[in-house]
Amino acid sequence: MSSLALLRVLNETLEQGETAALVTVIRSPAPEQVGARALVRPGQPPLGTLGLGEREAEVLAAAENALAEGRPRLLRYPAWELEVFVDVQARPPELIIVGAGHIAVPLCEIGALCGFRVTVIDDRPQYAHPGRFPKAARVIAADIRRTVRELPMDANTFVVLVTRGHSLDVECLLEILDRPLAYIGMIGSRRRVSAVFTLLEREQGIPRAKLERVYAPIGLPIGAETPAEIAVAIMAEIINVRRGGQAVSLAAERRRTSRT
């Protein structure tokens, strides 16, 4: 398979939200091997060949390990006078915005700018349409709770609940609370969030520890007032969680006071 064909498959793989690694020979005693490429994807056989003969399986296995770790790696084999670069193209993080109101518009823009693959969900077609969210990868106009229940999500998924009503936010929260997500944020005042969590704990038996993983009130305390400023506060919190930052969230203060 030619390098051009491999790059085409790589682009298609990334557009589908998957991870892949382009493996390239950058040093070899055999000049014809330099520049040879292969494409490695999770759970699939490699595409292309490095032309390394009996050594190829070992090199590609090391490339698969680099892909699993999600980090690029330079593979050196001094005994073979061989160097291979593994360029890992990680699947972008997913940002799912549940609700297509005023906050969702700037949040989608900022999320896409920060490298997230953004999905917007709402049951109002006049709000949930691509023209309103040109930077979104997907805009879904359908029943909100059912869509949230059925949408695939994993540890690379960040969910923001900003629907038109707090009760709908809570309904959607119950659909995803047990999933191993990277982040769940829900809009609402500290008083309202505390009251809702107390109610869920008492009436539905949901452990407080499970509710404490929710970032609510949502965002960092930057004094945000406008929809755009609130979107900045939310995205800052998401980046803070993703990168292991030191900023203190609004939710942290609620958690602290709820324990006293």
pLDDT higher than 80, residue 10: yes
What is the spatial order of strands in the sheet that 37-41 belongs to? 44-48, 37-41, 20-27, 82-89, 73-77
Nearest partner of 50 among 86, 14, 78, 12, judged by Cα: 86
pLDDT higher than 90, residue 255: no
Q: How deeply is 174 buried, as exposed, middle or buried, from its count of CB atoms within 10 A (0-12, 13-18, 19+)?
A: middle
Dump pLDDT digits (tens) for 231-249.
Answer: 999 999 999 999 999 999 9
> Which class does domain 94-258 fall in?
alpha beta
Tokens of 36: 């040879």
Q: Mean pLDDT over residues 63-80, rounded?
A: 93
Q: Give 258 or 59, the one with higher predicted confidence.
A: 59
Q: pLDDT band at residue 224, thresholds of 50, 70 and 90?
A: very high
Cβ contact 187:218 at 8 Å: yes
Cβ contact 26:33 at 8 Å: no
pLDDT higher than 80, residue 141: yes
Chain centroid to CA 82: how far?
Answer: 35
pLDDT higher than 80, residue 13: yes
Torsions phi, psi for 141 (to 5 deg): -105, 100
d(CA 188, CA 208): 18
Dump pLDDT digits (tens) for 113-140.
Answer: 999 999 999 999 999 999 999 999 999 9
Strands 117-122 and 44-48: unpaired
Q: Mean pLDDT over residues 89-93, rounded?
A: 85
Question: Which residues are bridge partners to 73 per DSSP?
Answer: 86
User: Where are the chain's structural domains?
Assistant: 3-89, 94-258
Half-sphere exposure of 163 (CA within 13 A, CB side): 21
What pLDDT is recorded for position 260? 53
d(CA 105, CA 89): 28
Mean pLDDT of the chain: 93
DSSP 226: S
Q: Give 253 or 151, the one with higher predicted confidence.
A: 151
What pLDDT is recorded for position 232? 98
What pLDDT is recorded for position 259? 62
Which helix (H) or strand (E) element contains residue 127? none
What pLDDT is recorded for position 71? 87
Q: pLDDT band at residue 101, thresholds of 50, 70 and 90?
A: very high
What pLDDT is recorded for position 125? 96
Query: Helices H, strands E: what count in the chain?
Result: 9, 11
Q: Where are the beta strands (DSSP E) in 173-217?
A: 183-186, 214-215
Cβ contact 104:121 at 8 Å: no
Q: Kindly give the interhelix angle for 190-203 and 166-176, rounded to the nearest 10 degrees.
A: 50
What pLDDT is recorded for position 24? 96
Q: pLDDT band at residue 204, thresholds of 50, 70 and 90?
A: confident
What pLDDT is recorded for position 218? 95
DSSP 90: P
